[in-house]
Structure 1
Amino acid sequence: MPPPGRRSARRSASSSASSASRASERARRDSSSPGRGPHDRVVPPERPMNPLLALAPPIAAGLVRLLGATLRLRAEGVDMLAPSWTAARPLIYCVWHGRILMVPWLNARLRRSDGARAVSVLASRSRDGGLIADYAGRFGLEVVRGSSSRGGAGALRALVTAVRAGRDVALAPDGPRGPRGQLGSGIVALAAITGAPVVPLGFAARPAWRLATWDEFQIPSPFARAALVFGAMTSIARDADRERARKELERGLDEATAAADRLVSA
């Protein structure tokens, strides 16, 4: 009978050989699979979208149209912008994230009544971004698809391309995650790179529901008083102090929003 140490060594060698054989067999199967190599990672397919979720954009667009038809809207600053709408120079609009719900409807209305141009809005390449793109497209808006991850570099590149192509864009500069009412640096960079002026857009409605979300998302009540205020255009030079420009834009957007709030409270 072999000593215990030799039996243990034989068992270890047998186990190692068995493990190596199993690994070799797995590698052989992977290599023989079409389009896969032995070191490729299998990524599970994306789950199909719930058909009910796909109905959200058309339903939301229909409800917003019905709601908009009941609003008693007052607009200020349209005469100031009218010459820009007939010129070739693109504009960058900004509105706080909590006030964006009616923006597609407002743009569609101004296109019919005052000759405004269709704006482009940013949507991510994710499934949620696809729903936003569907919703915006139902009002005749164009959609710029770009990723807001990794500091928003992809989104900025997509927006720069759109503006340089002559398209107006509308952004929520405190989105998509806040902090609420704090203007991010992306819109400053966009204006400085493209030379397009920024137009603050204030919207308010009263009465309105305010959701318990980070942006205090506002939904006008049917037949509410509503106000749309365009603030003064601001241009940002390439060599401008970016932080100073950011604060000035933030103040301008706050002033336009406060003016809209005053109009519906009077």
Structure 2
Amino acid sequence: MLKRLFRSRPAMQAAAWLIGTYIGLVYATSRWTLQGYDHVEAALKDGKGVILAFWHGRLLMAAAVRKQTDARVFMLISAHRDGEIIAQGVSRFGVEFIRGSAANPKKPGKNKSGASAIAQMAAALRENAIVGFTPDGPRGPGETLKPGVIRLAQMSGAPIIPAAYSVSRGKRLSTWDRFLLAAPFSRGYYVAGAPITVPAEASGETLDRIRADVEAALIAVTREADALAGRKTED
């Protein structure tokens, strides 16, 4: 009965409203510093769009970055019910959504939505948009880079910019992604790293090395954001 209740449209709408309201409260009551955003601005000047990659656990306040740019901002979101709730919750910030998940090459029979999502993201990048991507989502393992973001960068020519946020007040949850639940009245930091490109002709060991480089860069910017906020990464 409870499961049916929380799957109902009114319950989903209420959850979405709470999420959006909470994000707005945290953003409005906290002091935010952006570091490295010039990397995003410089990449947009090249006209190939930007793939903004961040760990799933740092998803909560990502939508607020929309306020920093005039470019269209898209976010890859799960086609499942939880993804729809999140999409409704943050739509007030002007973020547009692409439903699906990056295709898993190990499960070719389940790749129809993934292939469609990749195609939609590539189309958005051709329009010089920013596409948000959580390369360890939607189910983990946490902070382990899956190949979808590398494939998107290779086929589109858009650079991957590793990014993270952290806050001085908040709690990391006991979920697979160690989700950071930011608290109001915090000091918040957004950190973006240098762009990483994936050559169209890259294959084999080269792609493996780039995947490792992007994963290491994401770990580095996350630690940097935590350090600026006075937070231990594991807390």
**TM-score, normalised relative to structure 2:** 0.83
Distance 2:41 2:227 in 1: 24
Alpha-carbon distance change, 170 to 48 in structure 1, aligned in 2, over 3 angstroms = closer
How much does 1:86 deviate?
4.9
The answer for the alignment partner of 1:209 in structure 2 is 171
Gaps of 5+ in 2: 1-5, 104-109
Aligned pairs, how many?
215
1:121·1:170 contact (CA, 8 Å) conserved in 2?
Answer: yes
The answer for the alignment partner of 1:195 in structure 2 is 157
Gaps of 5+ in 1: 1-46
Alpha-carbon distance change, 48 to 252 in structure 1, aligned in 2, over 3 angstroms = closer
How much does 1:80 deviate?
3.5
**TM-score, normalised relative to structure 1:** 0.74
Q: Secondary structure at the match of 1:89?
A: coil
1:256 to 218, 221, 233: 221
Distance 2:40 2:115 in 1: 30
The answer for the alignment partner of 1:166 in structure 2 is 128
2:143 to 167, 181, 184: 181
Q: Secondary structure at the match of 2:132?
A: strand
The answer for the alignment partner of 1:145 in structure 2 is 99
C-alpha RMSD of matched pairs (Å): 2.2
Distance 2:48 2:117 in 1: 21
Distance 2:102 2:215 in 1: 20
**Residues 36-70 of structure 1: per-residue CA shift (max 9 Å, x gap):** xxxxxxxxxxx973412222212211121111111
2:13·2:88 contact (CA, 8 Å) conserved in 1?
Answer: no
The answer for the alignment partner of 2:50 in structure 1 is 91
Distance 1:49 1:242 in 2: 43
How much does 1:148 deviate?
5.2
Distance 1:263 1:141 in 2: 27
In structure 2, give the amino acid aligned to 1:187. Answer: V
How much does 1:75 deviate?
1.4
1:136·1:143 contact (CA, 8 Å) conserved in 2?
Answer: no
The answer for the alignment partner of 2:107 in structure 1 is none
Distance 2:193 2:30 in 1: 21
Q: Which has the higher contact order (CA 8 A, sep 6+)?
A: 2
Rg larger for: 1
The answer for the alignment partner of 2:74 in structure 1 is 120
1:146·1:158 contact (CA, 8 Å) conserved in 2?
Answer: no
How much does 1:209 deviate?
0.8
